Amino acid sequence: MKILVPVKRVIDYNVKPRVKADGSGVDLANVKMSMNPFDEIAVEEAIRLKEAGKAEEIIAVSIGPAKAQETLRTALAMGADRAILVQTDDEVEPLAVAKILKAIADEEQPGIVMLGKQAIDDDSNQTGQMLAALMGRPQGTFANTVEVDGDSVTVKREVDGGLQTVKLTMPAIVTTDLRLNEPRYASLPNIMKAKQKPLDTKAPADFGVDTAPRLKTTNVSEPPVRQAGEKVEDVDALVAKIKALGIA
Amino acid sequence: MKTLVWVEHDNKSLADATLAAVTAAGKMGEVHLLVAGSGCRAVADEAAKIEGVGKVHLADDAAYEHALPENVAPLVADLMGHHDAFVAPATTTGKNIAPRVAALLDVMQISDILSVEGDKTFTRPIYAGNAIATVESSDEKLVITVRGTAFEKAAAEGGSASVEEVSGPTDAGLSTFVSEEIAESDRPELTSAKVIVSGGRALKDSETFEQIITPLADKLGAGIGASRAAVDAGYVPNDYQVGQTGKIVAPEVYIAIGISGAIQHLAGMKDSKTIIAINKDEDAPIFQVADIGLVADLFKAVPELTEKL
């Protein structure tokens, strides 16, 4: 079985984004970029399935600028076998990303497409579900545990009230949540080896997908800023404050 | 514009999250509801009483019992033949289903809206709420999820909509429900709690979390939340997590104990009316958003606070 792992290059999760003064977006110039943390978890889970003998090949895919190659090299250094970069400088919305991934899945015929539940830049939480719809296949979103058995995959999902377990007939789409695993760091020898692994470069047009955006962002602004309040001296002062709020 | 709102429920009663979605949909046009489930007539009757609702569609079929997206998304897509916008609360169920509907309709979804600015214009948070984008859709139909804390809840009583039974595609045969572990608790649910007491990594382990946080929450009749660090460390289950990718909450009072205040956590609670922080590190970022801060050792301060309240 092949596992297809889409990964996105995003602002590093430790960086506090700054909104541009002209309201056109978020300033990404000279900002540290990394693999979307949820996608790292997806790469890790795919590698663990391969190590457990459940999968033979892991293909990492990224849709984005030339620099997304670095993100793919990270996936290769972690343990993916080969990579595909669908190169574009345009912003590609989740729907178009899902269409490109569908075209790649049609070619590669993976048993599982494993991807992050959400990218921490646009916070859409859509791509996996959309891909599942376009492929006409089942989806196990917000995965906490993934077990492959024969031609089905059982996914324990993190839901609002707790956990829900579903069984999906493969091919299936799985989106990862935080508790699924803790991604490994790539070792230096593996980072060197990753440079030799195959990385194909394509364009959205190669898949016949129109990436013209459906949504127009007319403005990006700072959220209302919360002011720091006051510090109290001791517990007694805090008790008085809490009582004044009328909750105790 | 005619909207179709996803009703969140457990086949017995309607979940509160629905009410904020109804308010958002009401700002866009006529409000129709969809109750999809199994043996869920009572939910439809409850939904019909929500103020401002024009009609309730009831799809009662064993295949819809657990809202598996493979089964319910085609049903919604069918009903969208007669509606202009599908509106779901941004709960884990809504987030699971809505994008699948959007792709079936070839529509780009607008996630987690904060406001309705025009016919097809909305605001939504990006970058963990560090920026607010105004977006305008060019799609003919709309698929939207609604951030519950951004809209008032519609009144649960006062309406008298008709309930119309509908049917749609049945079991797609792609997925089956196996089991669920839903925590039974008398505590208020995080997303609707008036007061939340939340604990972080500093709580050490699950016993300590329980010993320190629970008595205070009991005293205040509060819901209990946690930072990602506390959930990852196994102090509490995943459904306690407040943050960018966990639950978004906006209670009257949020008490953060031993939480440093990573941007991902702030994203989930900074719209709380009053934030109280207790942390021994006076430079912790949580104090930059807290209305009331106490720099203290939580292991001494919190039991003392519980005692004195």
**Looking at the domain assignment, is residue B11 inside a domain?**
yes
Give me the numbers of helices (H) and strands (E) for chain B, helices first please. Answer: 8, 16
- Same domain membership, residue B291 and residue B222: yes
Region of residue A46 (phi > 0: left; psi between -120 and 50: alpha; otherwise: beta) = alpha
**pLDDT band per the 50, 70, 90 thresholds, residue A179:** very high
Query: What pLDDT score was predicted for residue B1?
Result: 95
Say yes or no: B58 and B126 in one domain. Answer: yes
Query: Looking at residue B232, which CATH number applies to its domain?
Result: 3.40.50.1220
DSSP assignments along A183-211, one per residue: PPPPPHHHHHHHTTS-EEEE-GGGGT---
In this structure, the answer to whether residues B160 and B97 fall within a common structural domain is: yes
B68 and B206 housed in the same domain: no
CA quadruple A41, A42, A45, A46: dihedral sign: negative
- B272 CA to chain A: closest CA distance, Å? 10
- Looking at the predicted structure, is the pLDDT value of residue A247 above 90? no
At residue A202, does pLDDT exceed 90? yes
Whether residue B173 lies inside any domain: the answer is no
Question: B292 is written with which tokens?
Answer: 């009331």
Pick the CATH number of A2-244 from 3.40.50.1980, 3.30.470.20, 3.40.50.620, 3.30.465.10: 3.40.50.620
pLDDT value at residue B189: 87
A176 to chain B, closest Cα gap in Å: 11
**Whole-number mean pLDDT of chain B?**
96
For chain B, say whether A47 makes contact (Cβ under 8 Å).
no
Asked if B308 has any chain A CB less than 8 Å from its own CB, the reply is yes
pLDDT in tens, A85-133: 999 999 999 999 999 999 999 999 999 999 999 999 999 999 999 999 9
Tell me the chain A residues in contact with residue B264 when contact means C-beta distances shorter than 8 Å: 13
Contact A83, A76 (CB under 8 A): yes
Mean local confidence (pLDDT), A25-51: 97
Burial B24-33 (b: 16+ CB within 10 A, else e): bbbebebbbb
Mean pLDDT of chain A: 96
> Is residue A225 very low, low, confident or very high in pLDDT (cuts 50, 70, 90)?
confident
Q: Which residues contact A233 (CB under 8 A, 6 or more apart)?
A: none
Please, which residues have CB within 8 angstroms of residue A51's CB and are 6 or more apart in sequence? none
- Which among A214, A239, A241 is the nearest to B137, CB-wise? A214
pLDDT tens per residue across span A53-74: 999 999 999 999 999 999 999 9
In this complex, is the C-beta atom of A240 within 8 Å of any C-beta atom belonging to chain B?
A: no
pLDDT at B245: 85
| Claim to verify: residue B18 and residue B107 sit in the same structural domain | yes
Q: Extract the residue ranges of chain B whose pLDDT is less than 50.
A: none
What pLDDT, on the 0 to 100 scale, is given for residue A226?
87
Interface test with A, best of B104, B115, B126 (most A CBs within 10 A): B126
Residue B126 forms contact with A (CB below 8 Å): yes
Task: Tell me, yes or no, if A168 comes closer than 8 A to chain B by beta carbon.
Answer: yes
* Contact between chains at B309 and A248 (C-beta distance less than 8 A): yes
Residue numbers of the domain that contains B142 = 2-165
> Strand pairing partners for B5?
B33, B87
Residues of chain A contacting B127 with CB distance shorter than 8 Å: 11, 17, 26, 120-121, 123
Residue B178 in domain: no
Taking a C-beta distance cutoff of 8 angstroms, is the pair B124, B135 a contact? Answer: yes
Shared domain for B127 and B235, answered yes or no, is: no
The number of beta carbons lying within 10 Å of the beta carbon of residue B250 is 18
CB count within 10 Å of CB B156 equals 16
Number of domains in chain B: 2
Which residue ranges make up each domain of chain A? 2-244
A65 vs B22: CA distance, rounded Å? 40
Would you say residue B142 lies in a domain?
yes
Inside any domain, residue B184: no
Of B73, B100, B239, the CB nearest to A161: B239
pLDDT of residue B178: 98
- Give the residue from A31, A129, A149, A173 with the most B CB atoms within 10 Å of its CB, the best one to mutate: A129
For the cut 90, the answer to whether the pLDDT of residue A227 exceeds it is: no
Does residue B181 belong to the interface with chain A, where contact is any CB pair within 8 Å?
yes
Same domain flag for B20 and B145: yes
ipTM above 0.85 for this complex: yes
Which of the listed residues B165, B182, B209 is the one where a domain comes to its end? B165
Q: Please provide residue B164's backbone torsions phi and psi, each rounded to the nearest 5 degrees.
A: -120, 130
CATH of the domain at B63: 3.40.50.620
CB within 8 Å of chain A, chain B residues 85-104: 91-93, 95-104
Verify that B132 and B232 share a domain, yes or no: no
For residue B120, give the chain A residue with the closest CA: A215
- pLDDT grade, residue A248 (50/70/90)? confident
- Tell me whether residues A120 and B128 touch, CB distance under 8 A: yes
pLDDT of amino acid A102: 98
Strand spans (E) along chain B: 2-6, 30-37, 55-60, 85-89, 110-113, 115-118, 121-126, 131-137, 142-146, 162-165, 175-182, 195-199, 223-226, 253-257, 274-279, 292-295
Give this prediction's pTM. Answer: 0.95
